[in-house]
Structure 1
Amino acid sequence: MVKKEYYLEYKIKKNRPGLLGDISSLLGMLSINIVTINGVDDKSRGLLMRAETEDQIKRLESILRTIDTIDVVKLREPKLRDKMAVRHGRYIERDEDDRKTFRFVRSELGLLVDFMAELYKMDGHRLIGIRGMPRVGKTESIVAASVCANKKWLFMSSTMIKQTVREQLLRDEYSPKNIFILDGVISTNRAGEKHWQLIREVMQLPAVKVVEHPDVFVENSHYSINDFDYIIELRNEHDEEITYEGVEKNNLFQDSEFGGFNF
């Protein structure tokens, strides 16, 4: 029988020596395997586990509820945020009102790249928008995540190395295994109808598409922000305001995170 993965998170009410050992022994007696374990945020601990039957998990939950030194926070099939929490020891910040919006700061680029790489590995159509001021690390994170996910990336519009505005793709570039990247500002200000026709074609592919400056993109196309599956916000600091006025007015070649490099 194939074992199924589950996520357990519990908050420690009263820490005492041997607590983790007792819980590990309990999992062993129930024939539940521990895949990964880590501290999560302050006084919580998260575990990824594998079990053969749901009955094992129900029995585990029943026993854990009787232990007065812990509070069970979550016991469920793992979501992507759960896996990231165990790997990195903290939860990704998520907008309470718009649940598809996730927030990062520049010091968390490692977490962001890991998160995006997992999104890239999912099958089928995924439309991801990434907001952020110039030189905060948007493009380098998108590319680094592609490398981590072992995916080929294609710039449809960009200023990463030089101004890129694609009007056509080669036959093999239409592969759904590729990551298609475009800059909403470049596509809006520098591209013609052939470029937008290509965007419409790519949007029909069962592949991952990443749009920098998604708000500018939707303002100048028939797409809406509701078409996006994920919105990522990347800031230098938590309280930084993301605006587009400077991005649209400045020389677009200077907005690239790699604008100062000569390749």
Structure 2
Amino acid sequence: MMDRKEWYLEYEIKINRPGLLGDISSLLGMLAINIISINGVDNRKRGLLLLVKNEEQIGRLESILRTMETIQVTKIRESNLRDKLAVRHGRYIQRDHDDKKTFRFVRDDLGILVDFMAEHFKQVGHKLIGIRGMPRVGKTESIVAASVCANKKWIFVSSTMIKQTVRSQLIDDEYSENNIFILDGVVSTERANERHWQLVREIMRIPAVKVVEHPDIFVQNSEYSLDDFDYIIELREDPTQEITYDLLKKNRMFDEGGFGAFGGFDY
């Protein structure tokens, strides 16, 4: 017997009448398709995670659903992480239309953002993640919270989370593949020496998750490029906020005087 696969079904409600969900549930039952979970997704849409034995079941289901005047099927496919989170949280993660590896969140989405990162943190092997955002929007806190959710230890390689951190070495147990390595692209660029960059190169070779805040600054001043990143997260206070580095350029927070007025901020 073939292993069952998880599929995602999403439909838009065209005519909202009593018993609509019951009709669809009965149809799934007749086709021997199990419902794993269900939730409203983005206003008048409903998403379902289904457990399916074979694609023939899906073909029959789709052909019947497309004859129904009360709904319009918008997605039917093998489920991915975004689909699972959409059902879990009742809304879809925004993805850049031109750059498919860029995902956009606002501060009100911190719950789904943490969930999104935690699922990636649980995966085995190398993964390089970039996160863009202005000060105090919740970047570092989200990374740490996702590490906790994934039951992973986080290691600050460079950071301004609590105090200035620029590390040039790790202790033995910190080299674990089970750790999450966090770097601040601005701190590594402006305050680090060659010993720090040698450590960064060592960490990049570890088959583990690495998260870089301000990846654009990081790649401008290193041998790495944005193509090396598996995906990029953008976090804003609201959808209209512009992510800019003009503030850093104007104030030069890393001049000889140190952090100055920016000491301790989440950069």
Question: What's the TM-score once normalised by structure 2's chain length?
Answer: 0.92
How big is the shift at 1:29?
1.2
Cα-to-partner distance string for 1:117-138 (whole Å, 9 max, x where unaligned): 1111222211110011111110
Preserved contact between residue 161 and residue 264 of structure 2 (Cα < 8 Å): no
Number of residue equivalences: 257
Q: Give distance in 2, aligned partners of 1:132 and 1:120.
A: 20
Question: What's the TM-score once normalised by structure 1's chain length?
Answer: 0.94
How big is the shift at 1:194?
0.9
Whether 2:91 is the aligned partner of 1:90: answer yes
Whether 2:263 is the aligned partner of 1:253: answer yes
User: In the alignment, residue 233 of structure 1 is paired with which amino acid?
Assistant: E
Q: Out of 217-226 and 169-178, give the one that drifted further.
A: 169-178
Preserved contact between residue 247 and residue 255 of structure 1 (Cα < 8 Å): no
- The within-5 A match list for 1:12-161 is 12-161=13-162
Aligned to 1:198: 199
User: In the alignment, residue 15 of structure 2 is paired with which amino acid?
Assistant: K
Q: Give distance in 1, aligned partners of 2:163 and 2:264.
A: 10
Show structure 2 runs of 5+ residues with no match: 254-258
Q: SS at 2:264's partner residue? A: helix
Q: Give distance in 2, aligned partners of 1:245 and 1:127.
A: 25
Preserved contact between residue 162 and residue 264 of structure 2 (Cα < 8 Å): no
User: In the alignment, residue 266 of structure 2 is paired with which amino acid?
Assistant: S
Show structure 1 runs of 5+ residues with no match: 258-263
Q: Give distance in 2, aligned partners of 1:147 and 1:254.
A: 22
Cα-to-partner distance string for 1:136-185 (whole Å, 9 max, x where unaligned): 11000000010111111111111112211111112222221111100001
Aligned to 1:228: 229
Identity of aligned residues (%): 71
User: In the alignment, residue 134 of structure 2 is paired with which amino acid?
Assistant: M
